């Protein structure tokens, strides 16, 4: 289990047994380290041991592209209702933040990444998130294996060819199972929605999410003037 060593604003990722060398001195993480422990360097500087939480995955995972934001991961979880014990099929692993979150929720995840080097990074990230036993990162193209994958409770997609996979949703999802697709462009979102209609899924809807941070200061309250940008469209549907 990778842990965070924190000192003020500083955060370092280390596994048990590893060493931390900084200007604050050197320390070795004990094999039996526990979140909440306090460790000291040879210069007697104090570090606190913290367990990685979801948002830490987003910040500390090695990136192979723009990872899905915690907000969009949350919307996928909320709308599909992923729960512990669910079987989830995911494609477009990328950095692996969505798969890591789903594993931490207790779901059993099979996730496909086409690029072997990206898949390798994702595997290391998943290891760091301590959910390697729940998240199986497979190198390959999900569209080529659709027939042998079996049945899942939830299908999550973040790939350019998502619409093609959506066409197979009825075979891939258990009765009552949910689909969640992330698409960056209007055109790809439209293709996904149309594929979902074609596949006779139920409760199909494509949402756009605009978030704005509020600015509270002494003069008053308003949304931040800088704005919060678009991330992507999310299409949801159920197999009922």
Of 16 and 184, the one with the shorter C-beta distance to a second copy is 184
SS3 238: strand
Of 26 and 66, the one with the shorter C-beta distance to a second copy is 66
Q: How many residues bind a second copy (CB under 8 A)?
A: 75
d(CA 75, CA 3): 27
118-121 contact pairs (CB < 8 A, 24+): 118/64, 118/65, 118/93, 118/94, 119/93, 121/62, 121/64, 121/95, 121/96
**Min CB(209)–a second copy separation in Å:** 5
Backbone phi and psi for residue 39, each to the nearest 5 degrees, phi listed first:
-120, 155
**Min CB(145)–a second copy separation in Å:** 23
Q: Which stretch binds a second copy (CB under 8 A): 16-24, 108-116, 140-148, 211-219?
A: 211-219
Q: Which residues lie closer than 8 Å to 228 by C-beta, 6 or more apart?
A: 210, 211, 212, 213
Of 64 and 80, the one with the shorter C-beta distance to a second copy is 80
Q: Which stretch binds a second copy (CB under 8 A): 26-34, 87-95, 165-173, 206-214?
A: 206-214
HSE-up (13 A, CA, CB side) for residue 176: 4
Task: Check residue 206 for interaction with a second copy (CB under 8 A).
Answer: yes
Task: Check residue 5 for interaction with a second copy (CB under 8 A).
Answer: no
Of 100 and 119, the one with the shorter C-beta distance to a second copy is 100
Q: Interaction with a second copy in 133-152: which residues (CB under 8 A)?
A: none
Task: Check residue 187 for interaction with a second copy (CB under 8 A).
Answer: yes
d(CA 240, CA 218): 52
The binding track of 49-68 with respect to a second copy, each residue x by CB under 8 A or -, is -xx-xxxxx-----------
């Amino acid at each position: 289990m990778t842990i965070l060593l924190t000192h003020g604003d500083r955060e370092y990722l280390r596994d048990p047994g590893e060493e931390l060398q900084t200007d604050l001195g050197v320390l070795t993480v004990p094999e039996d380290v526990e979140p909440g422990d306090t460790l000291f360097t040879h210069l007697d500087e104090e570090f606190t041991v913290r367990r990685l939480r979801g948002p830490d995955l987003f910040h500390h995972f090695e990136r192979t592209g723009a990872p899905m934001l915690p907000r969009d991961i949350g919307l996928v979880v909320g709308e599909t209702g992923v729960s512990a014990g669910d079987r989830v099929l995911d494609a477009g692993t990328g950095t692996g933040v969505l798969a890591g979150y789903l594993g931490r929720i207790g779901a059993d995840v099979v996730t496909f990444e086409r690029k072997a080097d990206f898949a390798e990074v994702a595997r290391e990230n998943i290891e760091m998130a301590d959910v390697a036993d729940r998240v199986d990162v497979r190198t390959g193209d999900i569209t080529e294996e659709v027939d042998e994958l079996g049945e899942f409770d939830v299908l999550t997609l973040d790939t350019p060819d998502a619409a093609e996979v959506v066409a197979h949703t009825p075979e891939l999802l258990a009765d009552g199972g949910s689909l969640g697709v992330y698409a960056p462009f209007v055109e790809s979102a439209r293709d996904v929605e149309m594929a979902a209609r074609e596949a006779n899924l139920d409760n199909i809807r494509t949402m756009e999410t605009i978030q704005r941070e509020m600015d509270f200061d002494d003069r008053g309250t308003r949304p931040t003037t800088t704005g919060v940008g678009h991330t992507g469209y999310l299409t949801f549907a159920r197999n009922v």
